[in-house]
Structure formats: C-alpha cells, structure tokens
Amino acid sequence: MGTCNLNHSQNDVRLKFESQKAFLPTELSQTLDHYLEKGNSKETLNELFHLLKKYDLSTQEEQESRNEKLKQIIL
C-alpha cells in the first residue's frame, strides 16, 4: 500500500468501514466498530482507511495480513 497525502476524517473511515464490513471477520468487525466510536488521531485514521480500502478485492493472504495490522491498531 502506498502512502496517501490525504487526511481521512473519522467519517471517511466510518464510511469505508461500513462498505467493507461484510467482508471482515465478524469478531474483528465488531471490535473495529466499537473502536471507531471514539476519536482517533489523523495518523491512525489514515492507516485504518488504507487497510480497509479495497479490502474486498484483496487476496486471502492480503486480507489476513491486513487483519493482523488492524488488530495491532485496535487492541
């Protein structure tokens, strides 16, 4: 994943999460849903956005890698 110069808002990340929610493992999805209820730093929001971006189009291996990164952020 390349770097992005855009700063994504809490709402941007929430919308991206909602669009990818069905493709995430249930437990991870529920944990991330709760995590997004609180405010997060711009850096964290940007990282979350890019981990969720095109998640549904990623290979199984890539999804597993992203899942691990998501868990590291939210746990």
Long-range contacts of 29-34, Cβ-Cβ distance < 8 Å, separation of 24 or more: 31/71, 31/74, 31/75, 32/70, 32/74
Residue 58 DSSP one-character state: S
Task: Give the per-residue pLDDT at 3.
Answer: 55
How far is Cα 28 from Cα 33, in angstroms, rounded to an integer? 8
The residue type found at 71 is K
| Residue 4 pLDDT grade (very low, low, confident, very high; cuts 50, 70, 90) | low
Mean pLDDT along residues 6-35: 94
pTM above 0.85, yes or no: yes
Residue-wise pLDDT tens digits, 24-68: 999 999 999 999 998 888 999 999 999 999 999 999 999 999 999
